[in-house]
């Protein structure tokens, strides 16, 4: 059974629809096909040469797996080949229980990059952040390794300490010691904050919708007069599409949640909500940031488009593509993770590269506000060189000063974005919520002035 994921083989299908055109294009198609066969022969020649002449004996299986993964990762950052062990690991993760550190990672130019640490896991407790680069594991470089090979080095026996070498923007490389645990990930938790409930969802595995419903029911039982709900999707790297649909459905009375569209314009699949809102129309705010990706963006986009909730925080990651997991020989030869579609919010917008923009933009700290203002330090789907293109004419919002950041008198131990979400619930909407002064962002001003200067035509010297 195929699984649709919103996180990272090659299949060629000749359908009945194309058969009618075979006779018309037989001559034109012959040359490209012959070239494909020639290139496959070249691959065999290279493999044979490596086997015979490389300085040490080689493992053919490892070479071919690496070639498959290289072919797929050249398409986009989220496609890839999973060997049998990697496929088993992925299934363990989507079931919500596995051994490791609790990191969602990807690869960028041969370097392992953190998308997000998972809540309450060793990685999160160790202070790892979205955008961190992992350059070595236990002193052994992982530069140039595939993501699956790097992850294998990070996984192992629970209780053992793993030393990660981290490269972080504006910091010298440093080591972090992390103790492996059995990750029994509970993706949905809830708590009361005064008159409001906070439902935290850290990822989307097979249990997320049920956990979210149970968590909300528990806090609602404690305070039946709860006045509003904050859905916290910050640092949520995504997961299973059906669970994103399920969570969205908890808060909607009907209508479209999301659609996915493949290469063929007629290949459209729509997902709709069923009647029944577990909150009975309770006011809602959704919290997002640049670590909110994929399945989490589906939920935020659906609730925003359907006017069910307003969004507070920062523009989301911008991963608007769907990956299909295609087992090979029932998984005996691993699986392909192949990008097969883009997803679209109910209003018909694709957020690939661009992300979900909040209704009220709020940075969690002044440093984060400065990061948003500095184009060099933004981490998002758009920062990947081979990311699937956005829809024509759409671009991610340029560097700018965020609308709000914590004022000098705000308690640094408190969550400023959460506080502003509570303000929106208190006042009834973003429009009615009193705004705070826009923070000063020096680098944004310098960057903006430089761009203006570049755009101006050169003025000839006066005579």
Q: Which residues lie across from 312 on neighbouring strands?
A: 287, 360
CB 111 within 8 A of CB 149: no
Query: Which among 3, 152, 207, 319 is annotated as catalytic?
Result: 319
Cα–Cα distance for residue pair 161/139, rounded to 1 Å: 12
Instruction: Transcribe 294-322 into DSSP letters.
Output: THHHHHHHHHHHTTS-EEEES------EE
What is the full DSSP assignment across 158-196? TT-EEEEEEE-TTS--EEEEEE-EEEE---EEEEEETTE
Backbone dihedral region of 369: left (phi > 0), alpha (psi from -120 to 50 degrees) or beta?
A: alpha
Cβ within 8 Å of residue 440, ≥6 positions away: 401
Of the candidates 375, 251, 249, which has an alpha carbon nearest to the alpha carbon of residue 310? Answer: 251
Q: Is 462 a catalytic residue?
A: no
> Residue 228 CA to chain centroid, in angstroms?
27
Is 132 in the active site?
no
Distance CA 133, CA 114 (A): 6
Query: b or e along 405-434 (b: 16 or more beta carbons within 10 Å of the residue's beta carbon)?
Result: bbeeeeeeeebbbbebbbbbbeeeebeebe
Query: CA 27 to CA 33: how far, in whole Å?
Result: 10
CA distance to 165, 207, 383, 402, per residue, from 377 (Å): 20, 35, 10, 14
Residue 294 designated active-site: yes
Annotated active-site residue in 83, 249, 305, 359? 305
What's the burial of 356, exposed, middle or buried (CB within 10 Å: 0-12/13-18/19+)?
Answer: buried
Which of 116, 146, 294, 364 is flagged as catalytic? 294
* Whole-angstrom distance, CA of residue 219 vs CA of residue 40: 59
Asked whether the beta carbons of 384 and 319 are under 8 A apart, the reply is no
Nearest-5° angle of CA 348, CA 352, CA 357?
A: 75
* Backbone torsion region of residue 214, taken as left when φ is above 0, otherwise alpha when ψ lies between -120 and 50, otherwise beta: alpha
Q: Which residues are catalytic?
A: 294, 305, 319
């Amino acid at each position: 059974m195929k699984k649709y994921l919103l996180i990272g083989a090659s299949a060629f299908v000749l359908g009945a629809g194309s058969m009618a055109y075979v006779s018309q294009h037989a001559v034109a198609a012959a040359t490209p096909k012959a070239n494909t066969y020639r290139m496959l022969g070249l691959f065999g020649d290279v493999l044979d040469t490596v086997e015979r002449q490389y300085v040490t004996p080689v493992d053919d299986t490892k070479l071919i797996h690496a070639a498959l993964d290289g072919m797929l990762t050249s398409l986009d950052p989220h496609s890839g080949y999973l060997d049998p062990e990697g496929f088993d690991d992925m299934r363990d993760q989507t079931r919500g229980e596995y051994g490791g550190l609790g990191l969602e990672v990807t690869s960028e130019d041969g370097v392992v990059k953190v998308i997000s640490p998972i809540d309450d896991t060793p990685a999160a407790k160790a202070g790892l952040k979205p955008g961190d680069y992992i350059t070595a594991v236990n002193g052994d470089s992982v530069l140039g390794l595939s993501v699956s090979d790097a992850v294998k080095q990070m996984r192992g026996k629970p209780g053992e300490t793993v030393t990660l070498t981290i490269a972080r923007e504006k910091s010298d490389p440093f080591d972090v010691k992390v103790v492996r645990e059995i990750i029994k990930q509970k993706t949905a938790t809830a708590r009361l904050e005064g008159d409001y409930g906070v439902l935290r969802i850290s990822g989307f595995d097979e249990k997320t919708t049920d956990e979210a419903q149970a968590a909300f029911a528990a806090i609602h039982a404690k305070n039946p007069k709860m006045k509003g709900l904050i859905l916290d999707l910050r640092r949520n790297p995504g997961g299973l599409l059906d669970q994103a649909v399920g969570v969205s459905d908890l808060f909607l009375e009907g209508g479209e949640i999301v659609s996915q569209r493949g290469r063929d314009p007629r290949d459209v699949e729509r997902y709709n909500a069923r009647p029944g809102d577990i909150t009975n129309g309770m006011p809602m705010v959704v919290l997002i940031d640049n670590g909110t990706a994929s399945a989490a963006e589906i939920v935020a986009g659906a609730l925003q488009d359907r006017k069910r909730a307003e969004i507070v925080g920062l523009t989301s990651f911008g991963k608007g593509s769907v990956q299909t997991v295609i087992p090979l020989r029932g998984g005996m030869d691993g699986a392909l993770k192949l990008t097969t579609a883009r997803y679209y919010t109910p209003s018909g917008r694709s957020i690939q590269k661009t992300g979900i923009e909040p209704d009220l933009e709020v940075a969690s700290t002044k440093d984060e506000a400065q990061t948003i203002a500095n184009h060099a330090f933004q981490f998002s789907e758009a920062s990947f060189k081979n990311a699937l293109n956005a829809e024509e004419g759409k671009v991610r919002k340029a560097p700018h000063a965020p609308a709000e950041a914590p004022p000098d008198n705000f308690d640094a131990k408190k969550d400023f974005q959460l506080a502003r979400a509570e303000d929106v619930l208190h006042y009834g909407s973003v429009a009615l919520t009193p705004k705070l002064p826009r923070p000063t962002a020096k680098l944004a001003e310098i960057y903006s002035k430089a761009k203006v200067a570049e755009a101006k035509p050169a003025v000839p010297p006066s005579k």
